Structure 1
């Protein structure tokens, strides 16, 4: 907290002197280029993520070679925090690793991993109730009752724990005991499971799950400090564990009403996880896994209620669901591919779309649902052939929707056959038109006198990356990979994108999705108001938008659409 509160964000115009002689701050280049000059000669350059200002700079000047933004911390703050706060190492590592996403998380709030790393001592809420080994069972139970606790720690004369007497141990006494004057040493659980107060929360969680105990004694330098219960720990971890419980419940659901109730609880759990710091990539995988299973259950129930055999078909997801990039605000995007005859498939699809809407996944406002898009494999091939031959604005829109496909249920070979057809029929002109569509929306200007005050982060930040990446994977013939992150990694592997640029693009994409996720959790949708963002996030967005413009420039040059079609 002290580091975050003492950090400044400073902007420098090209040619401005940042420091001359001995610097008084540590600088981290967030954007732009800074040169270190000695006797008028350039001796070193610093770019995004580089650190300067820690060494001795004799007769040196640091000058902004371009407009630059730096995160700065005064040396006196660094010395103070280094002496008193071991977490500074984590902060410093984030800088050294150029993990600016991690740096944002460190400044603005904890991550899920950090919850698990909290000290177990932080969960001791009461003074410990204790006795010595020679205390009678009667006296120990009275002490427990008076203090309203479910256990009493048995300690030696030096306050080091030797055992613990719990309600479970007392039940053993009730069954086997002979006198209330028997000593606790005869019935206590010993040796006692204990952790030092500064051990992380996840160690307590591991003990509770592996040893099947209900209490852990917490010590401080070997002396009794307190007791934590499994209830204390699980209440902290509840959102992380309940999602798997709900997933199991969904797999056993037998009615739409039950599925709807589970879905409502999952949405609340996802919001809780987002508020606790779980990021977009982790959450989107959780949500996609849940929605895939939910769709399967709805289809299975519909098939069962229909009571008739259906032609061979595959249920396919499009859009963000296909890419496994759904977050809180999601609707239906689906289609059916069948083999020969439709039979009752169209009516069947309508029932499923209606049922999905009932359980909480609304219908697509654009009508991209299986009830409207239920075609045979040959009909789908004809549609794609028409779209890729007649490159009208409407057909380009269809291609951007239907080129992200993922099989959810049924005969997956039908989708594989369609994807193979698409690969064999894509040509340079199709790619050029799709690229022209991908570069049509550029990120807005968010600094200076022409800066916008608000913008749609999905439309102007996320879509350019998603759409541009789709064109590149289509060119490379890897349609089976649908997730944008996986696509970018694949393009890096194939050498289509340089590794350094690909990593920067991935980092920017995740940050954009995390900002969008936070906005949706707060009920604000995709509209971002600049004044509501932190200064750090505003500077991050400026840098990400620069990267997106570079990406769009790459697409324009690669597919010859600098001046449009």
Structure 2
């Protein structure tokens, strides 16, 4: 074997699916690999051009995949990533353009080598099939793919484009309810769209007819506008099953209107119903959430959450995008909490004396609680008179105690630091919470800053959302009145620098139970979390709590820094996935990692994430002029 082939072999053997090949198979591939050197901004292939007879692996640098019409970055391929294989299997023309977004070296591998050495290896073939389904929006249909498709591919139907009805039944706003019902009966459909100039303005379903007409509430001779749901929830034609599931769950509906550009103000193209994405597995997320709503005890909810844990295992094993996994598990966790609160209220001696809201804080508030970790939550209730305060707080403390107890049964352990709604410190009226936030911000010592980093990631779960809006407004008012607070929060965000020593070695724990292990949460993830929180607070917005979406929002607000923000987003995705994989592997929180157990490729991938930590901390130090504080 020649020297170049040896170097290629040493590189590829660290990355799947090449790591799954036999030495003989991989050696044959390496002998025929072509090497491409690309300067920054150089095109490798262009959308609309005939597909080359090869696919690619990034050796060094990074390759961006862009949509031709919008120039939007669809994906960023880092060291070891494969791209262009789906296009090779599809044939025809490229649908995306590939461009070096930094100086790069890329290996290309022909389709003949792919068919001879990769598709013939069962493990490598299964890995690729999983990767396709996890990272693309639809699954192509051609002989080569069908030949290598496994039963497990059905586990990824959520990421395919949804197969919606292309000929939606519609009527005008002047149509009577009786006429609409007759049309639905004749066409054998469960819904009808009310359209104007072929744009959807409302929808009627069988449920509407049953609840509003069969009960006699409204005459069947009235116009359809009397009972239609409006405005409609619309999505573009390329909606995935995953997006449809999340939209239906979030909006508590069973039908989505499909329009040309995804808004109600464009041409109606179809309708997607819950029936169209009928459950094909027992542990489908939407089924679990429906079961949550029917559950009568915490023990039943525990069983459902354990099944959701198995869903997570499958998603991680088969490379479902981490952002999708977090959304699904967050919805399950939220639904379970809501059901527990419903049951707890029923079990109380009387109804709540005033309005209240239950808040998830910390990682659950950020929708990043994929594994079973301890609880972090709080309760806020409406302002009452001073004479009624103690009695009102006592009621909500008892309610919160029931909620915390049942969440513990489900699998979310009681918080060791007692940061829960059952703690009188975290069960307050709106005005008391406002005073608490003001005190923390006015006196930003280490303890108060720690509390801010936890409580400022709150998310409304149950109750009166207006109370939460009032809290958010109070936080920003307090910050505005104390400008220096953001500087202290900035210093706090810098307390954990990029976790590499002078010699580029991982910084590990020096003593204690986790001696010589790497703390991925404190040393790698929390610096990115803290930075995103600080920067989004400085923009005076509470619309984003999730770290990934915070960085995406920041990139939109500051396009001049989008490269830094996208790098942080991508690094956090990788770290979150890595921690989840470790937690599932060792049946723990995944926080502490034995570096010796990792492959060279995994260690390299972790190290690559640390540059984003350094870059974002450099940005913070400059923006908030923190050198004078250090």
Q: Following the alignment from structure 1 to structure 2, what is the Cα–Cα distance between the partners of residues 69 and 366?
A: 48
Aligned-pair CA distance for 1:539: 2.5
CA-based RMSD of the aligned residues comes to 4.0
- 1:79-478 alignment to 2 at 5 Å? 81=113, 112=134, 119-121=145-147, 238=281, 242-310=284-352, 311-339=354-382, 340=384, 341=389, 342-343=392-393, 344-372=395-423, 373-426=426-479, 427-445=482-500, 448=503, 450-452=505-507, 454-478=517-541
The answer to whether the 8 Å contact 1:350/1:370 transfers is yes
TM-score (norm 2): 0.56
Report the 3-state secondary structure (helix = DSSP H, G, I; strand = E; otherwise coil) of the residue aligned with 1:506: helix
Report the 3-state secondary structure (helix = DSSP H, G, I; strand = E; otherwise coil) of the residue aligned with 1:562: helix
Q: Following the alignment from structure 1 to structure 2, what is the Cα–Cα distance between the partners of residues 508 and 450?
A: 18
Look up the match of 1:18: none
Q: Note the residue ranges of structure 1 that are not aligned, 5 or more in a row.
A: 11-22, 32-45, 52-67, 88-104, 126-201, 203-233
Which range moved further: 367-376 or 489-498? 489-498
Q: Does 1:510 align with 2:598?
A: no
Aligned-pair CA distance for 1:280: 2.1
Report the 3-state secondary structure (helix = DSSP H, G, I; strand = E; otherwise coil) of the residue aligned with 2:627: coil
Q: Following the alignment from structure 2 to structure 1, what is the Cα–Cα distance between the partners of residues 605 and 398?
A: 49
Q: Following the alignment from structure 1 to structure 2, what is the Cα–Cα distance between the partners of residues 547 and 368?
A: 31
The answer to whether the 8 Å contact 2:506/2:518 transfers is no
Q: Does 1:549 align with 2:614?
A: yes
Q: Following the alignment from structure 2 to structure 1, what is the Cα–Cα distance between the partners of residues 302 and 562?
A: 44
Aligned length: 396
Q: Following the alignment from structure 1 to structure 2, what is the Cα–Cα distance between the partners of residues 395 and 502?
A: 27
Q: Following the alignment from structure 1 to structure 2, what is the Cα–Cα distance between the partners of residues 375 and 496?
A: 40
Deviation readout 1:511-533 (Å, 9 max, x if unpaired): 11111111111016222333333
Deviation readout 1:423-450 (Å, 9 max, x if unpaired): 1110321100011001110122279574
TM-score (norm 1): 0.62
Deviation readout 1:64-88 (Å, 9 max, x if unpaired): xxxx997664x7x55853786999x
Look up the match of 1:26: 35
Look up the match of 1:8: 11
Aligned-pair CA distance for 1:28: 6.8
Aligned-pair CA distance for 1:364: 1.3
Report the 3-state secondary structure (helix = DSSP H, G, I; strand = E; otherwise coil) of the residue aligned with 1:480: coil
The answer to whether the 8 Å contact 1:353/1:363 transfers is yes
Deviation readout 1:175-227 (Å, 9 max, x if unpaired): xxxxxxxxxxxxxxxxxxxxxxxxxxx9xxxxxxxxxxxxxxxxxxxxxxxxx
Q: Could you say which structure has the larger radius of gyration? A: 1
Higher RCO (C-alpha 8 Å, min separation 6): 1
Aligned-pair CA distance for 1:109: 6.0
The answer to whether the 8 Å contact 2:62/2:103 transfers is no
Look up the match of 1:560: 625
The answer to whether the 8 Å contact 2:372/2:411 transfers is no
Q: Following the alignment from structure 2 to structure 1, what is the Cα–Cα distance between the partners of residues 540 and 306?
A: 39
The answer to whether the 8 Å contact 1:7/1:71 transfers is no
The answer to whether the 8 Å contact 1:492/1:498 transfers is yes
Aligned-pair CA distance for 1:276: 2.0
The answer to whether the 8 Å contact 1:423/1:477 transfers is yes
Deviation readout 1:472-520 (Å, 9 max, x if unpaired): 1111101231111111111111117622222222111111111111111
Q: Following the alignment from structure 2 to structure 1, what is the Cα–Cα distance between the partners of residues 63 and 343?
A: 53
Deviation readout 1:267-314 (Å, 9 max, x if unpaired): 223222222222321111111100111011000001111141212111
Which range moved further: 336-345 or 316-325? 336-345
Aligned-pair CA distance for 1:238: 3.6
Look up the match of 1:229: none
The answer to whether the 8 Å contact 1:280/1:517 transfers is no
